[in-house]
Structure 1
């Protein structure tokens, strides 16, 4: 996975109550954020959640930098605390073309809607240029010569 700090929306952000990502991406700034590439939104649990009931993750867009009055592009169902373990990944989706002004407002970010009060749990979320993945091979595979 290729990460760019400018495309991180949350960087090990603690989630204890309903909130939005600490960072936003301003689509009005002239820059290359992967034009022609398949960008993916990812949300990854860094530290396991504890204490609450569930979290719902959403990819949002807003006319405001603070992500108020946001429009949801895509969201997960409520995910129970027991599933929010370190290393789990949620809402990995391909981002719609960012040039479609009708679909996107000026700012994009992530919202975290919680049920209950969490005493722990952090997430990292952002846009990535490549899918992170692992290839599993059968035991005894001779990889010499690769």
Structure 2
């Protein structure tokens, strides 16, 4: 998969507690992220998770880089630990519509014990790979 570092939210980010993506993407004042076609997004597990019950990934946007009042654009739903193995791709395949200037990804950990391993890479990609 081809990632562009300027629109990369997380690059092998360790998720050991509920957290925001390492990077916030600034779409600029005009917020032009595509000319009427879906913009491919890939959020993928790059290291197996342990300990947690499930992980939820959310794409958020705000007019403020500090995300004082974020708006949720899309969510993966709770993904159980058994699915969170290297190579798993979250079911958020395209950048949601309705973005404001800034966009980030949040990772919400559920369970009594925090994970001690588990990493995610997330960002806009050149396209999706398909097995057909």
Q: TM-score range by the shorter chain?
A: 0.7 to 0.9
Answer whether contact 1:53 1:80 (CA < 8 A) is retained: yes
Match of 1:139 in 2: none
Match of 1:114 in 2: 109
Match of 1:126 in 2: 123
What's the Cα RMSD here?
A: 2.1
Aligned to 1:7, what secondary structure does the other structure show? strand
Name the stretch that deviates more: 67-76 or 79-88: 67-76
Cα distance in 2 for residues equivalent to 1:2 and 1:34: 17
Gaps of at least 5 residues in structure 1 are 98-102, 136-146
Larger radius of gyration: 1
TM-score, normalising length from structure 1? 0.78
Instruction: Work out the number of aligned pairs and report it.
Output: 130
Structure with bigger strand share is 1
Cα distance in 2 for residues equivalent to 1:77 and 1:31: 26
Gaps of at least 5 residues in structure 2 are none
Match of 1:18 in 2: 18
What pairs with 1:1-146 in structure 2 (closer than 5 Å)? Answer: 1-28=1-28, 34-35=34-35, 37-96=37-96, 103-116=98-111, 117-135=114-132
